[in-house]
Structure 1
Amino acid sequence: MTVRHLVVVVPGIGGSVLERTRADGRPVRVWDAGVGGIGGLLLRPGRLSLAEEERLRPVGLITSKHLLPGWTVVHGYEGLVAGIGRSVPGARIDLGHPERPDPRADVLLFPYDFRRSIAEAADRLAAQIHLRLAGLSAAERRGRVVVVAHSMGGLVARYWMGVLGGWRVCRALVTLGTPHRGAPKALDWLVNGVRVGGLAMPGATGVIRGWPSVAELLPRYPMVRHESDGGIRYPHELPIGGLRRGARRAFALHRQIEEAWEAMPRSGPEMRARFSWSHPTPTAGHWDGTRLRVTRERPAWLVPPGWQDDLGDGTVPATSALPIEDSGRDTSAMRTRERHGPLAAAEWVGPLIAGYLRRDSLARLRGDERPVSLGLEVDEAHLPGAPVPVRATVHGRSGEAASLAPAAPVWALARPDADPTAEPVAVPLEWDADTGAFRGELPALEPGLHTVTVTARDVPGAGDLSVGETVAVVDDGAEAAAEEGGA
Structure 2
Amino acid sequence: MVPGLVKIDGYSGLRRLFTQEFEVVPGSPDDERPANYFEFAYDWRRDNRYAARKLQELVNRKLPQWRDHSGAQDARVILVAHSMGGLISRYYLEVLQGWRDCRALITFGTPYRGSVNALGYLANGYKQLFLDLTEVMRSFTAAYQLLPIYRSVQTGQGFARVAEIDGIPGIDRDRAAAALRFHREIEEAVAANRKEADYFTQGYRILPVVGTRQKTFQSATLAGGRLTVAHVAPEGVPTFLADGDGTVPRVSAIPIELSNEFFDTFVAEKHSSLQNNGAMLEQLLERVKLMQAPELGGIRDVPPARPPVEQMPALALEVEDLYLAQEPVTIQAQTFNVEEPVGLVAEIVAIDGGAPMRLPLVRQEDSWGATLESLAAGSYRITLKTDWTGPEAPEPVHDVFAVVDGRG
Superposed pair shares fold, TM > 0.5:
yes
Q: Show the counterpart of 2:95.
A: 163
Deviation at 1:410, TM superposition (A): 2.4
Distance 1:188 1:295 in 2: 10
TM-score normalised by length of structure 2: 0.86
Distance 1:366 1:73 in 2: 34
Q: Show the counterpart of 2:216.
A: 281
Q: Show the counterpart of 1:114.
A: 44
Structure 1 position 373 matched with structure 2 position 314:
yes
Say what the alpha-carbon RMSD is for the aligned residues.
2.8
Deviation at 1:360, TM superposition (A): 6.2
- Kindly provide the CA deviation profile for residues 70-117 of structure 1, in whole angstroms up to 9, marking residues without a partner as x: 23431211221110112212x111255x4xx25411101100111101
Which of 371, 380, 383 is the aligned partner of 1:441? 371
Distance 2:294 2:273 in 1: 27
1:143, 1:269 within 8 Å by CA — same for their partners in 2? no
Counterpart of 1:216, as a letter, is Q
**In the TM superposition, what are the counterparts of 1:72-111 in structure 2 within 5 Å?**
72-89=6-23, 91-96=24-29, 98=30, 101-111=31-41
Q: Show the counterpart of 1:223.
A: 152
2:129, 2:406 within 8 Å by CA — same for their partners in 1? no
**In the TM superposition, what are the counterparts of 1:287-436 in structure 2 within 5 Å?**
287-298=222-233, 301-304=235-238, 308=240, 311-331=243-263, 333-346=264-277, 347-348=281-282, 349-358=284-293, 371-396=312-337, 407-420=341-354, 422-431=355-364, 433=365, 436=366
Secondary structure, in 3 states, of the residue corresponding to 2:214? coil
Which of 430, 453, 461 is the aligned partner of 2:383? 453
Deviation at 1:179, TM superposition (A): 0.6
Deviation at 1:140, TM superposition (A): 6.8
TM-score normalised by length of structure 1: 0.73
2:218, 2:242 within 8 Å by CA — same for their partners in 1? no
1:371, 1:462 within 8 Å by CA — same for their partners in 2? no
Structure 1 position 247 matched with structure 2 position 176:
yes
Structure 1 position 269 matched with structure 2 position 201:
no
Q: Show the counterpart of 1:58.
A: none
Counterpart of 2:317, as a letter, is L
Distance 2:161 2:392 in 1: 39
Deviation at 1:277, TM superposition (A): 1.1
Distance 2:304 2:394 in 1: 24
Structure 1 position 176 matched with structure 2 position 111:
no
Provide closer, same or farther for how the CA distance between residues 379 and 72 of structure 1 changes in structure 2, counting only shifts above 3 A: farther
1:379, 1:471 within 8 Å by CA — same for their partners in 2? yes
Identity %: 29
Provide closer, same or farther for how the CA distance between residues 359 and 154 of structure 1 changes in structure 2, counting only shifts above 3 A: farther
Structure 1 position 201 matched with structure 2 position 130:
yes
Counterpart of 1:337, as a letter, is A
Secondary structure, in 3 states, of the residue corresponding to 2:240? coil
Counterpart of 2:376, as a letter, is E
Distance 1:167 1:428 in 2: 48
Counterpart of 1:376, as a letter, is L
1:149, 1:175 within 8 Å by CA — same for their partners in 2? yes
Counterpart of 1:87, as a letter, is E
Gaps of 5+ in 2: 194-198
Distance 1:256 1:146 in 2: 22
Distance 1:316 1:286 in 2: 18
Number of equivalences: 387
- Kindly provide the CA deviation profile for residues 218-245 of structure 1, in whole angstroms up to 9, marking residues without a partner as x: 111111111x34x001011221374312
After the TM superposition, which of the residue ranges 371-380 and 290-299 deviates more from structure 2?
290-299
Counterpart of 1:325, as a letter, is E
Distance 1:361 1:72 in 2: 41
Structure 1 position 475 matched with structure 2 position 405:
yes
Provide closer, same or farther for how the CA distance between residues 92 and 441 of structure 1 changes in structure 2, counting only shifts above 3 A: same
Secondary structure, in 3 states, of the residue corresponding to 1:471? strand
